[in-house]
Structures are given as C-alpha cells and as structure tokens.
Amino acid sequence: MLMFIQQHALTLSIVLPFVGLLALVLIPSERRTSIKAVSVVVGGLSILLSLYIFLAYDHARGGFQFQETYPWITSLGVQWHVGVDGISALMVLLTGVVMFTGILISWSVDKHTKDYFILLLTLVTGVFGVFVTLDLFLLFFFYEVAVLPMYLLIGIWGSSTDFKTFLRTKEYGAMKLTLVLVAGSVLVWVALIAIYAQANIGSFDLLALAKTGFSAEFQRIFFPFLMVGFGVLAGLWPFHTWSPDGHVAAPTAVSMLHAGVLMKLGAYGILRVGLTLFPEGAHAWMPVLIVLGTVNVIYGAVSAMAQRDLKYVIGYSSVSHMGYVLMGMATLVPAGVNGAVLQMFSHGVMTALFFAVVGSIYQQSHTRDIGVFEGLAKRIGLTGAIFTIAGLASLGLPGMSGFVAEFLVFVGTFQTYPLLGILGVIGAAITATYILRLLAKVFFGPLDPRWEKLHNLTALETVAAGILVFFLVYVGVNPGPFLRAIDSGVMPLLVRMGELL
C-alpha cells in the first residue's frame, strides 16, 4: 500500500479529487451531510498526500521526482507524464492546504450542495493536474479544467455587489472572469501548438522539448504569448480586471481557491513553460515583465486603498501581491526567483485566510461595506485576531511568511533594477497603510450596536483558519526547508539559462 502511494503519489493527487467528484455524482442530492462528509474526507486525504509529496521530495537530489510516464494519445505523442521539482512540490502543498481549508469553510453551503462540491472538486483536480504534469497537452488540459467550473460556481453561488453608484452582478463577474481567462489560454494554446510544430519531435513532453532548443527568433516571438497568456491568470496588469470583479462575486471557498491557488497557475506557467523552453525569449522580455509587475504592485495597492467593499480590498491586494511574484520572477537572479515562488505560497495562504474571514463576516452581516463596520473585535475577537495576522503577513511584518518572500524579491530587484526596487518598497508601504487603516476602521474602536449579534468563526472555520495561520507563521520563522526546496527547483533553471546565454 505504502509502496503504491510512493510510486503513484502524483497520479493519485489528480485521481483522488476526480474519484471524489465521481463518488459525489452517485450520492442522492438530498443527503447533504454525506456529500459534505465525503468532500471533507477527500480534502483530508489530499492535504495528507500533498504534505507527503512535499516532505518526501528530496531537495538534496533535486530534479524531477516521483516521475511516472504512460502513453496517452500515441498518434499525437501525448504522454501521461507527471513529476515534481522543488517548485511544484511546494505548489502541490499549497493546493492541498487551500483546498482542504476551502472545503471546511464550505460546510455552510446548503444551496445545491451536491453540484457545488462536484464543481469545487473539478477545480481542484485541474489545479493539482497543472502543478504535477510535465506534458504540455495535459498541462493545458488541466489548466482549462480549472477554468471550466468557474462560471457556474460564481454565477450560482456567488454574490453581487451593489453600492447604488457601483453595481456589479455576479453574472457579470462570472462571465468576465471566464472569458478573460479563456482569452489568455487562447494565447497559450497558440504558443503550445507552435512549439509542437517547431520542435517537430512529435511530442508534448516538456523535458524532451527543452532539449531541442528553439531559435532565438522563435523564442522572442512566442515568449510573449506565454507571458501574457499565463500572465492573465496571474493578474498581470493591464489584464487584471477580471480578478477583483471575479473574486468578489465568487463564494468564499472559490475566492480562496481562485486567489490562493489559481492565480499561481499563471505565474507557475510562465516559470515552468516559459523559462524552461524559452530562456532567450525570457531574457529578452523580462524587462517588460518586471515593469508590468511593478505597475501591478503600485496600481493594485493604490486601488485597494480606494475600495469600500471588504472583498474588493482583498481582490486588489491580490493584484498587488501577485506583482511581487512577477517582479521577482523577472529579475532572473536566484534571490528574486526564490522570493517569487515563496511569495506564491505565502500569498496563497494569506489571501485564503483573508477571504475565509471576510466570508464569515459577510455571511452574518450581509454587507461588506467597510463604512458600516466599527469595533468588530470587541464582539468577535478571534475573528479579528485572525484577520490581523493575515493583515500583518500581507504588509510583510518580520516573522511572517510575507516578510521573507518580499524581502527576497526586493534583494533580487535591487541587484538588477534598483529603481524598480524602490517602487516595490513604496508599494509595500502603501500596503501597510491600507491594511492598518482597514484594521483600525473595521475591528478597532467602539463597537457599533448593529453588530452585537455577530459571532466568531465556527469550529470548522476555526480549524481551517488555524491551519492557514500555522503555515503563515511557520514559513515566517523557519523558512529554511521551504527555501531549500524552492532553490533546488530554481537553480537548475537559472543555471541552464546562464549556460545558454
């Protein structure tokens, strides 16, 4: 049994949620508790499996581990090829953590429960798939799987924003998110097909394609397809507008998964496909990416400052934080890229925590208008404390994961583009401003009597929040194991680039 798990860990990570969703199909839709229980069990097994994958990954040895290869569509050369390096092992862990906590948070979903969990597990299947596969066909397959259920998840279970002067229906958010993301994947699709035809080795295998070597001209033409195509999902400015609208309209667990994990798929795609296959293209285009990333940071932070809707603040802060990921990646120096990957993890956990807490408040108060909240911490101290922790991680307080990640990104940026580094630091200062202002307004001060009836997180929500807080703090105080894993994945990429250039 253990042997089996060891050999097929990655395939299992995809198959597990998929089997879970098939099992849900067979349960009658009235039996809500069974449906939720099955989902929690699937989520629990997934987080254990992803912990195992991360811990068992041997970063001293490095390279792609847990590899499995089976023929899939032979005439096209598609293979079921899975394998993880240090980067994807960490992303698998992130997915496990966020999906499990997301499922716990979803215990309160009572509208079309069955359909909801089926779609949620579909999303999870797609995300795991992208992170573990090494075949470009399958990577794209799972990438689209992750987009597929979004329209229904937001459209059916989401919520609209109505401030009289500012109306965004959930249908609008759902349609915008789906179409923009698929538009991004159209670019990726075209690039993948061009790669296949250009390499002409009758294979979509990433490692085999990496060995062929593409002409510098081809790389320079098609790298932007990947950069923008994947970048759309990473919230790359100016293609980020789907993200606040979509995340605000989505139900809590979907916001958690989408902002927490799916946006990372975009950044991961640039790193895994773009940097691996197109080192010269990446080198040529990275100056553009780092500028756009800096715009992300500043623009996202300034926009977050102007929001009245609690979820919009977090939505724009995601845009801002993903900017650090893009900046770090674009430096192409070890510190920056390591920081970017750690930021992917850190932001994923942090934003999941934010959305979980806001979801709990919204569910009770039916409003997210910052203007009407006051002194909530007096009534719901635990919720306030957890929100504060997420906020502190967000503004990069030392001892939290965000500090380590952003610090590394700044180090990398100052080594390469000092001017942009300064702007990045200014972005962090703006973040501190809006987070602290938000905390002060919503949680501190005298309690508004309207909110006497609010209660703290439920038991399950507290467990979920506890897991997320644990990772935020643990990475902050002991980033070593995480950085070693990341470094074992990043260094070969950068070394290879150095050799080629």
- Closer CB to other proteins, residue 152 or residue 227? 152
Among 196, 214, 268, 434, binds other proteins (CB under 8 A): 196
Give the binding-site size for other proteins (rule: CB under 8 A). 33
* Pick 17 or 334: Cβ nearer other proteins: 17
CB closer to other proteins, 73 vs 419:
73
Alpha carbon distance 46, 245 (integer Å): 29
In the complex with other proteins, the residue whose CB is nearer, 139 or 447, is 139
Q: Contacts for 60-63 with beta carbons within 8 Å, 24 or more apart?
A: 60/488, 62/86, 62/488, 62/489, 62/491, 62/492, 63/492
117 binds other proteins (CB under 8 A): no
Among residues 152, 286, 428, 464, which is the contact residue for other proteins, using CB under 8 A?
Answer: 152
218/444 with CB nearer other proteins: 218
Q: How far apart are CA 43 and CA 123, in angstroms?
A: 13
| The one among 172, 189, 407, 474 contacting other proteins by CB under 8 A | 189
Q: Are 354 and 384 in contact (CB under 8 A)?
A: no
User: Is 294 a residue that touches other proteins (CB under 8 A)?
Assistant: no
> Is residue 419 close enough to count as binding other proteins by CB under 8 A?
no
Residue 144 as a binder of other proteins (CB under 8 A): the answer is: yes
167 binding other proteins? (CB under 8 A): no
Segment contacting other proteins by CB under 8 A, of 56-64, 95-103, 147-155, 298-306: 147-155
Instruction: Tell me: does residue 165 bind other proteins (CB under 8 A).
Output: no
Residue 127: C-alpha distances to residues 44, 94, 139, 148 (Å): 16, 10, 10, 12
Helices 381-394, 401-416: crossing angle, 10 deg rounding: 20
Nearer to other proteins, 196 or 354 (CB): 196
DSSP string, 215-282: -HHHHHHHHHHHHHHHHHHTT-TTS-THHHHHHHHS-HHHHHHIIIIIHHHHHHHIIIIIIHH-HHHH
Among 151, 268, 299, 403, binds other proteins (CB under 8 A): 151
Residues contacting residue 443 through CB under 8 Å, at least 6 positions apart: 373, 375, 376, 377, 384, 387, 388
Of 186, 306, 459, 500, the one binding other proteins (CB under 8 A) is: 186
Binding residue for other proteins, selected from 17, 20, 155, 384, defined by CB under 8 A: 155
Q: How far is the CB of 250 from other proteins (least distance, A)?
A: 14
Helices 113-132 + 150-157 axis angle, to 10: 150
- Residue 122 neighbours by CB under 8 Å, 6+ apart: 17, 21, 145, 148, 149
Question: 255 to each of 109, 157, 190, 498, how far by Cα in Å?
Answer: 14, 11, 29, 38
For other proteins, the closer CB: 165 or 200: 200
Nearer to other proteins, 31 or 455 (CB): 31
Is residue 482 involved in binding other proteins (CB under 8 A)? no
Task: Count Cβ atoms within 10 A of the Cβ of residue 8 and give its class: 0-12 exposed, 13-18 middle, 19 or more buried.
Answer: middle
Residues 58-87 that bind other proteins (CB under 8 A): 71-76
Distance CA 401, CA 407 (A): 10
The answer to whether 182 contacts other proteins (rule: CB under 8 A) is yes
Is residue 172 a contact point for other proteins (CB under 8 A)? Answer: no
Instruction: Name the residues that contact other proteins, by CB under 8 A.
Output: 71-76, 137, 140-142, 144-145, 147-148, 151-152, 155-156, 171, 175, 178-179, 182-183, 186, 189-190, 193-194, 196-198, 200
